[in-house]
Amino acid sequence: MKQTMKRCIYAALSAVFAILLLFVIFVTSFEAVCYWMPGLYHHEFEKYQVLETMKTWKGDEMTMEDLDKVMEQTMIYLRGDRENLIVETTINGDPAEFYNANEKSHMADVRVLFVRCLTLRALAILTLLAIAALLIVLAHGQALRILGRGYLVTCAVILTLVIILGLLAMTDFTKYFTIFHEIFFSQGNWLFDPRESRMIDVMPEGFFYDIAARVFMVFLGAVAALLIPDIIFAFRSRSKRRD
């Protein structure tokens, strides 16, 4: 009875550990794509010819250098390192604010979501350390094996769901992009008219598709990198038991 109870506790702890680890990997993958890839936004702006789009819809002209600076300040704001989104730039040769009131309102909501994810990631890391320490005390030399097995089983389930969601998003990105916004930004301040919004002109749907695809690939790569030693360890353990 005691052994059964122990196994259940270990299984539960390893499952929680794996879920939290996957969450940490996902948030870090998002951060890596959005903040650690040099020239990403410049490349996307050129790819979608956003300066031409902005000129067509709003009649506004600005340089790519100024747009890069606007995006840099925007990303600083989104992670909570800037108090407001009053971003001054040069448009049509005159000083002007890039974002209007509706855009600032939506970006404030995005900032809340992103900062919350960063906070939850920090808490998740602390919880991971606590679970690992607890298993080291309770299971002695078996802690790594227990965590590895839990990670393998949990990944099999979570990755299946992630891949299914990823494939669905690829078939109709607009639909699932809309669903995402309806869930997390139910107040509805995420719909913009390209004749009034510079933000929607320089960040079209394709821009977000590319970002999501990169996050998806980085996430899968990081998860797979952690799976490889687990699989090798599990294979060697089985071979030893057979011997």
Q: Which residues contact residue 220 at a Cβ distance below 8 angstroms, ignoring those fewer than 6 apart?
A: 159, 162, 163
Instruction: For residue 181, give its domain range.
Output: 2-242
pLDDT in tens, 149-167: 888 888 888 888 888 888 8
Check residue 30 and give its pLDDT. 96
Closest to 198 (Cα-Cα) out of 101, 80, 94: 101
Please state whether the predicted TM-score (pTM) of the whole model is above 0.85. Answer: yes
pLDDT of 215 higher than 90: yes
CB 199 within 8 A of CB 89: no
Q: Residue 124 and residue 122: Cα distance in Å, rounded?
A: 5
Portion of the chain with pLDDT greater than 70, in percent: 94
Q: Residue 148 and residue 80: Cα distance in Å, rounded?
A: 35
Q: Residue 46 and residue 82: Cα distance in Å, rounded?
A: 26
Q: Residue 106 and residue 109: Cα distance in Å, rounded?
A: 5
Q: Which residues contact residue 193 at a Cβ distance below 8 angstroms, ignoring those fewer than 6 apart?
A: 200
Q: Domain tally for the chain? A: 1
Strand-pairing partners, residue 94, are 91
Closest to 103 (Cα-Cα) out of 194, 187, 206, 199: 199
Both tokens of residue 112?
């809340």
Q: Residue 143 and residue 116: Cα distance in Å, rounded?
A: 30
Check residue 241 and give its pLDDT. 54
Q: Span 30-43, mean pLDDT?
A: 96
Q: Residue 151 and residue 144: Cα distance in Å, rounded?
A: 10
